[in-house]
A and B are shown apart, each in its own frame.
Chain A
Amino acid sequence: MLKKSALSALALLAGTAAAPVAYAADIEFWYGNTGTGEEAIQSACAAFNESQTEHHVSCVGQGSYETGMQKAIAAYRSKQHPVLIQFFDAGTLDLMLSGAVQPVQEVAPDVDWGDYINGARSYYETSTGELFSQPYNGSTLIFYGNRELLEKAGVSELPQTWEGVIETARALKAAGVDCPFTTDGHPWRVLEQFSARHGLPIATQNNGYGGLDAEYTFNTGPVAEHLKNLAAWREEGLVKLDADTAAGKYTTAFNSGECAMMEGSTGSYGAAFAALGDKVEIAMAPMYEGYERHNTLIGGASLWVMKGHDAPAYEAATAFLDFLRGDEQQIELTRITGYVPVTNSGLAALEAAGLSDDPQFATASTGVESLNQPGTEDSRGVRLGFYVQFRDIFMEETQKAFTGGQDMQAALDNAATRGNELLRRFEQTYKGTKLP
């Protein structure tokens, strides 16, 4: 009796999942942003759905890129996956080889993909120059300063070299600023962007662009010097990491006025501007003296089209991607978040509207300028497998060095060794697969 009614209740519950379909295609888009990024995405979705009646996009927030990817993996294995998914830079190769996505340029061959700025293209394109995913919320590394605190130390302009940064930091310290410079030591900042703009590789085969047999090489040379410097400067009280700040996070520490300078993503600008207003100053990230400046890498995330859906779904996806690529939407995203425009026409439209001098859009020109610096074979991007996990390893090992558990050189050597194990396993997992 009990069992019977329970069973019928289950059947009833199981049947309530389907939703009525009123559009030619009703597709799902999974994104990872929260906060201001989520706001921007949701308003873009609403605008798209209002702008036409043929398609409907349901934009489902997953809380973070990683959660979105976890669910996408599980969903793809169970054929419950969305048509569009947003994923961040570090997962590029994992998705390219996954077999679960279709190159966006194949889905929409008629689009003028050449309009994307070089820095945004090279990270997401194949060896034949075909874009695999559509760059969306693009960011890059820039340098932030708090004008009020800098003036305290008599500094009127943001330093452009690390030597200058440290000189300024000493002046700030002397002027009573407890936290002159802050970073979280994340490899995106201290390894990838650092190497790219100094024209250095982090791994052989041009950071993996040349093949799956790449090996990490960052543990000797300027990167290692830089990290040792950071550790020494931290001892001196000039540099604070997340854990050393009252806020517990470098961006928060900068936004709350605790720290005077930071290296951060353009995507952090929206919040910094909201907190500090025109006290925020930005510039391109600092170089060591004696190096020629190259481009920084595009960060943020791009949009991937997943396989296994029908033609109307792809029509809807294409329409939505077109909509997001439009100048108006790119300007809107920049306005809300500080992400930079990723197409030349988007950038031109922003300039034409007379917005490039508006402090709210300040990241657009600095960020794009940084992305458009002369490139090298090693500053195209990072095409290494299981790179998301490598970032965690790098953080773990260097954290041990910062807190005194081990020597920085040993930390970097360990990170490289463990990273190479990952690369070898990736190679084996995708044995026989060629880089696209």
Chain B
Amino acid sequence: MKQEIFRSRWLPWWLSAPQLIVLFLFFYLPIALAFFWAFHLEQPFGGGSEFVGLENFRRVLGSGEFWTSAGATLLYMILASGTSITTALILALAADRALKLSPLARNVFIWPKAVASASIGVIFVFILNPFLGILAPLNEIWPGFWNPRTNVTHTYIMLFVTNVWNAIPFTFIILLAGLQAIPQELHKAGAMDGSGPWRRLWDIQLPLLTPQLFVVIVLEVADSLSGSFGLIDTMTQGGPGGSTNLLVYKIYSDGFKAYDLSGAATQTVILMVLVACITGFQYFFLERKVNYDR
């Protein structure tokens, strides 16, 4: 962190206070309550709660379902954010060029943002329906070619495709903005040195895009986690056979469908620690590679 210009003891605190109060009330306080529940056995309607120490953690960490779910979650976060960032990056690099299609594409690629996640899942389930959707003709030629309802790999492909569609706008905006901010002089200078447009992609554009890539990676990894809820809820409900029961959805269904408030809270706490580690990793290892100088 550089900048650091004004010196004042209290002013920065006053400036941050409104946001900190909102975060305290509606983010940290609910989390604190969740922590409380993680160490108690809580009756759903609040009739009574008993302090059980680490019993909940022992139960959660000792169950095979939790580890399966945690593994699937981690894999999903990596693959979902990876596919969506790669797609958006390729689209942004293409749209950055002054082609006839570029203005249209820059506009259209943001449209998916307008569709609520509650609708996106419904739409894609409908389109990718193995018997009625766009892949149905292929199924008639090769039975079983595409069945996201029973084939776990297909289910995940369906989720990734939907997630990419859903995630393009934000990532695309940020990356395109970053690309457009690269001064023309740098391109010209590069060209003078005899490097062609493909070469400059690697030598100039990508390195100078690192601040945006960093923002996008942090936000997209987080988003793939929270966004998975809406998609799973509308598309797979955790199936087939629990294979897409990612932690966010598992916590939701354990806590709200099964009234296991303590178990859900315990898993929330564990997920928080996991997320904190991932974020920490991103800051310590990735941000160092970010190039803020222009």
Q: Contact at B150–A243, with CB atoms within 8 Å?
A: yes
Residues of A34-84 contacting chain B, CB below 8 A = 66, 69-70, 73, 76-77
Check: A98 CB closer than 8 A to any chain B CB. Answer: yes
| Stretch of A22-30, A283-291, A358-366, A399-407 contacting B (4+ beta carbons < 8 Å) | A399-407
A392 in contact (CB, < 8 A):
yes
Instruction: Give complex CA distance A244, B46 in Å.
Output: 42
| Interface pair B132/A246, CB less than 8 Å apart | yes
Report if B4 contacts A (CB, 8 A): no
Q: Is the CB of A392 within 8 A of B258?
A: yes
A396 touching B242 by the CB < 8 A rule?
A: yes
- State whether B45 touches A396 (Cβ < 8 A): no
User: Would B253 and A392 count as touching, CB distance under 8 A?
Assistant: yes
User: A73 touching B150 by the CB < 8 A rule?
Assistant: no
Could you say which residues of chain A place their CB within 8 Å of the CB of B106? none
Query: Is chain B's interface secondary structure helix, strand, loop, or mixed overall?
Result: loop
Of the residues B45, B239, B254, contact of A99 by C-beta under 8 Å: B45
B18 interfacial by beta-carbon distance below 8 Å: yes
Q: How far is the CB of A95 from chain B (nearest CB, A)?
A: 9
A405 to B152, CA, bound (A): 10
Which of the 9-residue segments A220-228, A342-350, A367-375, A428-436 touches chain B?
A428-436
> Contact at A399–B240, with CB atoms within 8 Å?
yes
Q: By the criterion CB–CB under 8 Å, are B46 and A403 in contact?
A: no
CA distance A403 to B245 in the complex (A): 16
Taken together as a complex, chains A and B put the C-alpha atoms of A70 and B264 apart, in Å, by 13
Contact of A425 among B48, B59, B129 (CB under 8 A): B59
Q: Which of A348-399 contact B (CB under 8 A)?
A: 386, 388-389, 392, 395-397, 399
**In contact, B45 and A98 (Cβ under 8 angstroms):** yes
Task: Report yes or no: B43 in contact with A98, Cβ–Cβ below 8 A.
Answer: yes
Chain B residues whose CB sits within 8 angstroms of the CB of A4 once the complex forms: none
Return the chain B residue nearest A94 by Cβ: B259
Bound complex: CA of A246 vs CA of B241, how far in Å? 19
Say whether B12 faces chain A, with CB atoms less than 8 Å apart: no
Distance between A259 CB and nearest chain B CB, rounded to angstroms:
13
Residues of chain A in range 318-350 having any CB-CB distance to chain B below 8 Å = none
Does B257 count as interface, using CB distance less than 8 angstroms? yes
- Tell me whether B132 and A99 are in contact (CB under 8 A): no
Closest A residue to B255 using CB positions: A70
Contact A386 B131 (CB under 8 A): no
**A166 interface contact, C-beta 8 A:** no
Interface flag for B50 (CB, 8 Å)? yes
Pair count A-B, CB < 8 A: 88
* A405 nearest CB neighbor, chain B only: B241
Contacts of A244 in B (CB 8 A): 150
Residues of B in contact with A, size category: 20 to 34
- On chain A, the residues within 8 Å of B259 by CB distance are 69, 73, 94, 386, 388-389
Whether the pair B45, A76 counts as a contact (CB closer than 8 A) is yes
With both beta carbons as reference points, the residue of chain B lying nearest to A403 in the complex is identified as B150
In the complex, B256 has a CB within 8 A of chain A? yes
Cα distance, A248 to B263, chains bound together (Å): 32
* B260 near A100: Cβ-Cβ < 8 Å: no
| With contact pairs A3-B18, A399-B239 given, residues A70 and B41 touching in the complex (Cβ less than 8 Å) | no
In whole Å, how far is B265's beta carbon from the nearest beta carbon of chain A?
Answer: 13
Q: CA A400 – CA B50 in complex, angstroms?
A: 36
**Is the pair B258, A100 in contact by a Cβ cutoff of 8 Å?**
no
Question: Is B183 in the interface zone, CB < 8 Å from A?
Answer: no
Q: Give chain B nearest CB distance to A385 CB in angstroms.
A: 9
List the B side residues contacting A428 at CB < 8 Å: 41
The dominant DSSP class at the A interface is helix
Q: Which of B43-102 contact A (CB under 8 A)?
A: 43-48, 50, 59, 63, 65
Q: Digit string of B157-185 for contact with A (CB within 8 Å is 1, else 0)?
A: 00000000000000000000000000000
Q: Do A248 and B240 form a contact, CB below 8 Å, given A66-B256, A73-B259, A386-B260?
A: no
Residues of B close to A389: CB separation below 8 A: 253-254, 257-260
Complex formed: what's the CA distance from A246 to B42 in Å? 43
Pairwise interchain contact B257-A66, C-beta atoms closer than 8 A: yes
**Interface residue from A246, A388, A421, A430 paired with B131 (Cβ < 8 Å):** A246
> What is the 8 Å Cβ interface bit string for chain A, positions 411-436, against chain B (1 contact, 0 not)?
00000001001100100111100000
CB closest residue in chain B, given A100: B45
Partner among B44, B63, B65, B241 whose Cβ is within 8 Å of the Cβ of A94: B44
B-side contacts of A405, CB under 8 Å = 241
B238 proximal to A (CB < 8 A): yes
Which B residues between 104 and 152 are near A, CB-CB below 8 angstroms? 129, 131-132, 147, 149-151
Q: How far is the CA of A242 from the CA of B131 in the complex (A)?
A: 12
- Write out the residue numbers on chain A whose beta carbons fall within 8 Å of the beta carbon of B42: 429
B45 touches A77 (CB 8 A): yes
Name the contact of B258 in the complex, choosing from A98, A388, A397, A400 (C-beta under 8 A): A388
Beta-carbon contacts under 8 Å, A226-280 to B: 242-246, 248
Residue from B46, B47, B241 having most chain A Cβ neighbours under 10 A: B241
Closest A-chain residue to B17, C-beta based?
Answer: A3
Residues B41 and A429 in contact, CB atoms below 8 Å apart: yes
Please tell me if the beta carbons of A76 and B241 are within 8 angstroms of each other in the complex.
no
B233-256 vs A, CB cutoff 8 Å, 1 = contact: the mask equals 000001111100100000001101
Assess A430 versus B43: contact at CB under 8 Å? Given A66-B257, A388-B257: yes
Distance in angstroms between the alpha carbons of A397 and B59 in the assembled complex? 20
Q: Within 8 Å CB of A99, what residues of B?
A: 43, 45, 47-48
**Assuming A70-B256, A429-B41, A429-B43, is B240 touching A403 (CB within 8 A)?**
yes
On whether the beta carbons of A399 and B241 are closer than 8 Å, the reply is: yes
Closest to A428 in B: B41
List 11 interface pairs A-B (beta carbons < 8 Å), by A numbering.
A73-B44, A73-B45, A94-B44, A94-B259, A100-B45, A244-B150, A245-B131, A386-B258, A389-B258, A396-B239, A428-B41
| Residues of chain B at the chain A interface (Cβ within 8 Å) | 18, 41-48, 50, 59, 63, 65, 129, 131-132, 147, 149-151, 238-242, 245, 253-254, 256-260, 263
Closest 10 CB pairs of A and B: A389-B258, A400-B241, A243-B149, A99-B47, A246-B131, A100-B45, A396-B242, A399-B241, A98-B45, A70-B256
- New A-B contacts (17) at CB < 8 Å, excluding given A389-B253, A429-B43: A77-B46, A94-B44, A98-B45, A99-B43, A248-B131, A248-B149, A386-B258, A388-B257, A389-B259, A395-B239, A396-B238, A396-B242, A399-B240, A403-B240, A421-B63, A425-B260, A428-B41
